[in-house]
Amino acid sequence: MAKQMRKSYDAAFKAKVALEAVKGEKTMAQLSSEYGVHVNQIGQWQKRLLQELPEVFSERRRKKEDETEEMTAELYRQIGQLKVELEWLKKKSQILQLNGKKR
Protein backbone atom coordinates (compact mmCIF):
# COMPACT_ATOMS: atom_id res chain seq x y z
CA MET A 1 0.00 0.00 0.00
CA ALA A 2 1.34 3.40 -0.95
CA LYS A 3 1.16 6.16 1.62
CA GLN A 4 -0.78 9.23 0.67
CA MET A 5 1.13 12.49 0.79
CA ARG A 6 -0.43 15.26 2.84
CA LYS A 7 -1.70 18.16 0.84
CA SER A 8 -0.05 21.45 1.53
CA TYR A 9 -1.68 24.75 0.76
CA ASP A 10 -0.02 28.12 0.32
CA ALA A 11 -0.81 31.04 2.60
CA ALA A 12 -2.84 32.91 -0.02
CA PHE A 13 -5.15 29.93 -0.54
CA LYS A 14 -5.62 29.47 3.21
CA ALA A 15 -6.41 33.16 3.64
CA LYS A 16 -8.91 33.10 0.79
CA VAL A 17 -10.77 30.06 2.17
CA ALA A 18 -10.69 31.37 5.76
CA LEU A 19 -12.01 34.75 4.65
CA GLU A 20 -14.84 33.05 2.78
CA ALA A 21 -15.67 31.15 5.97
CA VAL A 22 -15.64 34.33 8.05
CA LYS A 23 -18.00 36.05 5.61
CA GLY A 24 -20.55 33.32 6.25
CA GLU A 25 -22.13 33.57 2.79
CA LYS A 26 -21.65 29.83 2.26
CA THR A 27 -21.79 26.93 4.67
CA MET A 28 -18.65 25.10 5.69
CA ALA A 29 -19.84 22.10 3.69
CA GLN A 30 -20.20 24.24 0.57
CA LEU A 31 -16.73 25.70 1.04
CA SER A 32 -15.32 22.23 1.65
CA SER A 33 -16.85 20.95 -1.55
CA GLU A 34 -15.83 24.01 -3.56
CA TYR A 35 -12.18 24.12 -2.46
CA GLY A 36 -11.60 20.41 -1.76
CA VAL A 37 -10.56 20.99 1.84
CA HIS A 38 -11.97 19.18 4.89
CA VAL A 39 -14.48 21.11 6.98
CA ASN A 40 -12.33 20.82 10.12
CA GLN A 41 -9.34 22.30 8.29
CA ILE A 42 -11.39 25.27 7.12
CA GLY A 43 -12.58 25.76 10.70
CA GLN A 44 -8.99 25.78 11.96
CA TRP A 45 -7.95 28.33 9.33
CA GLN A 46 -10.96 30.50 10.19
CA LYS A 47 -10.15 30.36 13.91
CA ARG A 48 -6.50 31.25 13.28
CA LEU A 49 -7.49 34.15 11.02
CA LEU A 50 -9.77 35.60 13.68
CA GLN A 51 -7.10 35.17 16.39
CA GLU A 52 -4.27 36.77 14.43
CA LEU A 53 -6.23 39.52 12.67
CA PRO A 54 -5.83 42.14 15.43
CA GLU A 55 -2.03 41.79 15.23
CA VAL A 56 -2.06 43.05 11.66
CA PHE A 57 -2.74 46.55 12.92
CA SER A 58 -0.69 46.43 16.09
CA GLU A 59 2.49 48.34 16.72
CA ARG A 60 4.15 45.26 18.26
CA ARG A 61 4.05 43.43 14.95
CA ARG A 62 5.77 46.29 13.16
CA LYS A 63 8.40 46.48 15.89
CA LYS A 64 8.97 42.72 15.69
CA GLU A 65 9.38 42.92 11.89
CA ASP A 66 11.91 45.75 12.30
CA GLU A 67 13.87 43.73 14.86
CA THR A 68 13.88 40.75 12.50
CA GLU A 69 15.22 42.91 9.67
CA GLU A 70 17.96 44.31 11.92
CA MET A 71 18.94 40.81 13.04
CA THR A 72 19.04 39.58 9.44
CA ALA A 73 21.22 42.52 8.38
CA GLU A 74 23.63 41.86 11.25
CA LEU A 75 23.86 38.17 10.40
CA TYR A 76 24.59 38.94 6.75
CA ARG A 77 27.31 41.38 7.88
CA GLN A 78 28.87 38.68 10.05
CA ILE A 79 28.71 36.16 7.22
CA GLY A 80 30.49 38.61 4.93
CA GLN A 81 33.19 39.22 7.52
CA LEU A 82 33.72 35.50 8.05
CA LYS A 83 34.01 34.93 4.30
CA VAL A 84 36.72 37.58 4.06
CA GLU A 85 38.58 36.08 7.00
CA LEU A 86 38.32 32.58 5.51
CA GLU A 87 39.72 33.72 2.17
CA TRP A 88 42.59 35.48 3.96
CA LEU A 89 43.38 32.33 5.93
CA LYS A 90 43.29 30.19 2.78
CA LYS A 91 45.78 32.49 1.06
CA LYS A 92 48.08 32.57 4.08
CA SER A 93 48.00 28.79 4.45
CA GLN A 94 48.94 28.38 0.77
CA ILE A 95 51.86 30.78 1.21
CA LEU A 96 53.04 28.91 4.31
CA GLN A 97 52.78 25.57 2.50
CA LEU A 98 54.85 26.90 -0.39
CA ASN A 99 57.49 28.28 1.97
CA GLY A 100 57.66 24.93 3.80
CA LYS A 101 58.32 23.02 0.55
CA LYS A 102 61.20 25.30 -0.47
CA ARG A 103 63.23 24.42 2.63
Cβ pair 29, 39 in contact under 8 A = yes
pLDDT of residue 57: 80
48-62 burial: b if 16+ Cβ within 10 Å, else e: ebeeeeeeeeeeeee
Residues in the chain where the model's pLDDT stays below 70: 1-2, 102-103
Return d(Cα 8, Cα 45) in angstroms, integer: 13
Is the pTM here over 0.75, yes or no? no
pLDDT of residue 102: 64
Residue-averaged pLDDT of the chain: 89
